[in-house]
Homo-oligomer: A and B are copies of this chain.
């Protein structure tokens, strides 16, 4: 990435504070009946006031046309190239349920599955057992298997037949094959190493699977083995403190976003359960940090549900909540989303995301409402999201001159 070639030369520390407000899945599409998007429908005087006092635009999370998951979308917003730094599926799974990863840990996604006496997989999802049954099984397994060959094994229920596994120890490698035959009616595979360094990991995993099968053999459940995939280690990402000389706080209530923030070195504030908790935390911690990432989830989850009205209500709720931080002084406030989640598409999308940057060092444009169409006419134009972090740092006067 071009920025990384000069960032070290220009970044400097100062006292100025930056607030990054991320409304997850912010961007939308017009309602077929009204022709208005969720943002165009919502009453949101405080968000509009930010747009009016700031400089607006749209941001492209990854590339034109590409729909990002939360991982790549957040990395972009944090100023890291999401194509260069791809986060493994296993890592996202463990972060998503709030497991903490350490350096050298190996993260794995797992499925309970049904096999017959000949090790033929008869149901790759073990009949989608309930989350409760999953919990009982995971507890039973975790009680009997704490470690294998000095590698600590940490297992947690995700949902229904899904579980997450962390291996913690020396010499672990993600370069192993899956044991999932991908199709029912085929035998479960042995995990094999893709290179010499991964042989130990393959042995540990095969022993783990064998012991899980022994334990499950005596239990009345359709779950008779586990299929493993998404083997991945923690990605190497230069932390915020070192890269931007910031002291960053993550103010989020969902595990995934706390996990992503931790990957880039943020202090993750614990015990927050709601947007009210988050607003209170921002007030309480204002003096202790110089960068705040505040995450709001409901705009995404209501969009994923395809519930237009609920997304409008979520926007209005966030609008009301941020009125309570108006008195806090930030050199730069950025209001945006990580990606779009239009209710009409019931999922993440590729559409550029509204963006407003408020700073006394920015020129305010004539955009006076925070919507997709209004922001498209802002002075920032439509820009790759990876630039946002650099614009925030610039407006907070945290860059020295490049060249003489």
Contacts and interface: CB of A to CB of B under 8 A. Distances in A.
Interface of A: 2-3, 5-6, 10, 29-30, 37, 62-73, 82-83, 86-87, 89, 92-93, 345, 347-351, 361, 363-366, 372-373, 376-377, 379-383, 387, 390-395, 399-404
B399 A65 contact: yes
B69 A402 contact: yes
14 contacts: A5-B83, A65-B399, A66-B399, A66-B402, A67-B400, A68-B401, A71-B404, A72-B402, A72-B403, A86-B403, A92-B403, A93-B404, A350-B394, A379-B382
Contact of A71 (B82, B376, B390, B403): B403
Contacts of A64: 383, 387, 390-391, 394
B365 A376 contact: yes
A401 B338 CA distance: 14
Contacts of A10: 66-67
B345 A402 contact: no
Given A6-B83, A63-B3, A64-B391, A69 B404 contact: yes
B401 A69 contact: yes
Contacts of A403: 68-73, 82, 86-87, 92
Given A350-B394, A381-B382, A402 B67 contact: yes
Contacts of A400: 67
A279 to B, nearest CB: 28
Q: Which 3 A-B pairs have the closest CB atoms?
A: A65-B394, A65-B390, A69-B403
Contacts of A66: 6, 10, 390, 394, 399, 402
B30 A363 contact: yes
Contacts of A380: 382
Contacts of A364: 30
Contacts of A347: 401
Nearest to A396: B65
Contact of A363 (B348, B373, B387, B399): B373
Contacts of A89: 404
A63 B348 contact: no
A107 to B, nearest CB: 12
A371 B372 CA distance: 23
A401 B65 contact: no
A252 B402 CA distance: 23
Contacts of A401: 67-69, 347-348
A68 B10 CA distance: 10
A64 B345 CA distance: 32
Contacts of A72: 402-403
A32 to B, nearest CB: 8
A174 to B, nearest CB: 16
A106 to B, nearest CB: 17
